Amino acid sequence: MSTDRQLFDYLLRLADNDLVMAQRLGEWVGHGPVLEEDIALTNVGLDLLGQARLWFAYAGEVEARFAAAGRSEDALAFSRDGGEFRNLLLVEQPNGGYADTMARQFYFDVWHQLLLVKLKHSRDARIAEIAAKAEKEVVYHAERSADWIIRLGDGTAESHARMQTAIDDLWMYTGEMFDPDETETVLAEEGIGCDVRTLAPAWREAVGNVLSEATLTVPGGTWMQRGGKNGIHTEHLGHMLATMQWMQRTYPGAEW
């Protein structure tokens, strides 16, 4: 039988993936290669931020069931330290060049869409309705990132080389997406969460199809980096949070 604490932890994972990815995309504001891309990056970021808020709001309500009080969306986003973040290592990786940003987005979008399709049928009605709403948005994200993988991969020699390097570099962060821990296993058994292992075949097929169309090679590495969902992060998350959280840390409770 799962506990509210486990459900809270699970919701934080969903929220943190969205929030951290949104923050990374926000770093592109004003730096996009063309105006349309600047707008697209921030639109995707905005969708993810909106989804993060829905997950955080629910997480706060669940937290109130076992703690003295449930934290607000802002408190969860801006007042937790790096070790309390539960996002995948993939989404905290730095923006790098455009190929790096799009490779990260593509790996995540395909997984995210598959995950939400499953969570739409969660026995937890709140999870199901948030997932159904979010999935419609993520369909567009996945289409766009796949387009860019193909465009850059099957582009010039230079864009192809950079895209292949980005795809290779981030590969070791993809294993964690399909590697459940106890929290996920318990929630999946109860039909509340998703057994992420079941997402792997469809993800590999979709990624393989797009990379093939993009004339890119699917990386062959089998050693995978992990730790994000248990709070063990790469050195990049702390720097990102320092920027993201400084306002609330400096002026706690400041309101817009």
Partner 1 sequence: MISIVDLGIVRDVEWQDDEPVITVTPTYCGCPATEVIMADIGRALTEAGFARHRVEIRLAPAWTTDWITAGARARLAEFGIAPPGAGSVATARVIDTSALHRRIVRAPVRCPRCGSAHTRELSRFGSTPCKAQYRCEHCLEPFDYFKPH
Q: Which residues bind partner 1 (CB under 8 A)?
A: 36-37, 39-40, 43-44, 46-51, 53-54, 110, 113-114, 117, 125, 128-130, 132-137, 139-140, 142-144, 146, 150, 202-203, 205-206, 209-210, 212-213
The residue assigned the tokens 């929220």 is 15
Q: Closer CB to partner 1, residue 142 or residue 188?
A: 142
Could you tell me the smallest distance in angstroms from the CB atom of residue 120 to partner 1? 9
Pick the closer one to partner 1 by CB: 60 or 82.
Answer: 60
Nearer to partner 1, 18 or 233 (CB): 18
- How deeply is 35 buried, as exposed, middle or buried, from its count of CB atoms within 10 A (0-12, 13-18, 19+)? exposed
Question: Alpha-carbon distance 181 to 191, whole Å?
Answer: 15
Q: How far is the CB of 138 from partner 1 (least distance, A)?
A: 10
- Alpha-carbon torsion, ordered 113, 147, 168, 242, to 10 deg: -70
Phi, psi for 87 (deg, rounded to 5): -75, 160
Instruction: Give whichever of 129 and 190 is closer to partner 1, judged by the CB atom.
Output: 129
CB of 118 to partner 1, least distance (A): 10
Query: What is the crossing angle of helices 98-119 and 125-153, to 10°?
Result: 150
For the bound state, the minimum distance from the C-beta of residue 129 to partner 1, rounded and expressed in Å, comes to 4
**Looking at beta carbons only, is 12 or 186 nearer to partner 1?**
12
- Cβ of residue 204: shortest distance to partner 1, in angstroms? 10
Q: Which one-letter amino acid corresponds to residue 73?
A: E
4 φ/ψ angles, rounded to the nearest 5 degrees: -65, -30
Measured from the CB atom, is 209 or 217 closer to partner 1? 209
C-alpha distances in Å from residue 196, one per residue of 65, 111, 132, 186, 187: 27, 9, 18, 12, 11
For residue 226, the minimal CB distance to partner 1 (Å) is: 23
A 10 A CB-CB count for 193 gives 28
